């Protein structure tokens, strides 16, 4: 096992420098053959010995560094607890969410549209750093999933499961879901949580909105259902109450998005769930630096002979200067 690649690289540098000095004396003795009658090389030739010395030293350093590094085992990357983001989905599961008036063609069930929106959301975040919770809301609120790192569990519940059967018939108490989201996230790290509310806003009261804890840094209210044309359900014209949903978002310092036709903008998702990333340089290890040193230095050594042959001197062998001037 190599213990000190830097010392070996320094030794290689000294040996290569000594070799270059011997080589320079030999070149000087036959300079007219190498560089023409003037015996003067191109000005850039003076840095060539230094380039060769540094390149060889870097190759030695890179190779010996790689020899001293344990083989890399590919495994699931551990997530720093400080980088974990909590996503709490508050989903309206009232019967009105079964109305078929959502989507670009107006032929999708509202709950299916909610699933499409969240599926698109999941695809545009670093899901391995997310912990997901799902709260079902009708005439009360029930925690379905709490802080799971398995998105498939949440997908299964979102994808058409009739959760309203777990509640008694009544009006939608959307604020109960927000209050439960606040209680669940209360103990989490400050500014680590995003609450996503999906609802048609139908039969939602105008008062009683709860206060979010410090852990919640972003709230996204997504409206689903046709906001212009309603559908009769239980003797009432049900449509997306965009005005109420906007008010909820405003009072919670959140963002409202009409998701009936358009998916959530990427800019909105980024602003809500962005996680500080290390720069490329911060992520590089000794292994990467060694590979870069070997690759770049080998490339320099490979192209130097061609550059010297083409541009090492301004003299062209076999061409008479007088003939060239004529």
pLDDT at 197: 94
Measured between alpha carbons, how far is 285 from 45 in angstroms, rounded to an integer?
A: 34
DSSP letters for 209-237: PPPPPTTEEEEEEEE-S-SSS-EEETTEE
Closest CA to 134 of 108, 102, 156: 156
DSSP-assigned beta bridge partners for residue 88: 133, 195
- pTM of the full structure: 0.63
- CB–CB of 221/247 below 8 Å? no
Measured between alpha carbons, how far is 246 from 251 in angstroms, rounded to an integer?
A: 9
Secondary structure of the chain: what % helix, strand, coil (to 5)? 50, 15, 35
pLDDT at 73: 62
Measured between alpha carbons, how far is 308 from 296 in angstroms, rounded to an integer?
A: 18
CA distance readout (Å), 256 to 39, 98, 220, 245: 77, 22, 6, 7
Closest CA to 247 of 139, 171, 175, 143: 175
* Segments of the chain with pLDDT less than 70: 1-3, 32-40, 72-79, 203-206, 235, 274-283, 314-326
pLDDT at 213: 94
Phi, psi of 55 (to 5 degrees): -65, -45
pLDDT digits (tens, 9 = 90+) for 208-251: 789 999 999 999 999 999 888 878 777 677 888 888 899 999 99
Contacts of 186 (CB under 8 A, 6+ apart): 213, 215
Closest CA to 160 of 216, 207, 97: 97
| Rg from Cα positions in the chain | 34
Phi, psi of 147 (to 5 degrees): 55, 50
- CB–CB of 277/79 below 8 Å? no
């Amino acid at each position: 096992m190599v213990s000190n690649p830097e010392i070996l690289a320094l030794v290689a540098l000294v040996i290569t420098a000594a070799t270059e000095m011997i080589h320079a004396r030999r070149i000087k003795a036959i300079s007219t053959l190498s560089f023409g009658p003037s015996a003067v090389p191109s000005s850039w030739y003076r840095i060539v010995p230094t380039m060769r010395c540094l390149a060889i030293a870097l190759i030695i350093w890179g190779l010996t560094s790689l020899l001293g590094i344990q083989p890399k085992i590919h495994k699931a990357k551990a997530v720093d607890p400080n980088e974990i983001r909590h996503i709490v989905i508050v989903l309206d599961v009232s019967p009105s969410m079964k109305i078929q008036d959502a989507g670009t063609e107006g032929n999708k069930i509202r709950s299916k549209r909610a699933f499409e929106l969240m599926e698109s959301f999941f695809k545009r975040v670093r899901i391995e750093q997310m912990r997901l919770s799902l709260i079902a809301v009708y005439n009360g609120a029930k925690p379905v999933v709490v802080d799971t790192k398995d998105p498939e569990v949440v997908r299964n519940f979102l994808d058409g499961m009739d959760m309203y059967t777990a509640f008694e018939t009544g009006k939608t108490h959307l604020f109960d879901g927000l209050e439960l989201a606040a209680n669940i996230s209360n103990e989490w790290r400050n500014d680590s949580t995003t609450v996503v509310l999906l609802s048609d806003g139908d039969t939602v009261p105008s008062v009683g909105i709860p206060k979010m804890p410090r852990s919640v840094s972003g709230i996204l209210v997504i409206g689903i259902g046709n906001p212009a044309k309603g559908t009769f359900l239980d003797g009432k014209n049900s449509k997306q109450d965009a005005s109420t949903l906007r008010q909820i978002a405003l009072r919670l310092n959140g963002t409202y998005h009409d998701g009936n036709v358009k998916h959530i903008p990427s800019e909105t998702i980024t602003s809500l769930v962005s996680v500080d990333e290390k720069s490329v340089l911060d992520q590089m290890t000794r292994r990467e630096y060694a590979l870069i040193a070997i690759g770049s230095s080998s490339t320099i050594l490979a192209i130097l002979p061609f550059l010297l042959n083409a541009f090492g001197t301004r003299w062209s062998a076999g061409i008479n200067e007088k003939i060239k001037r004529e």
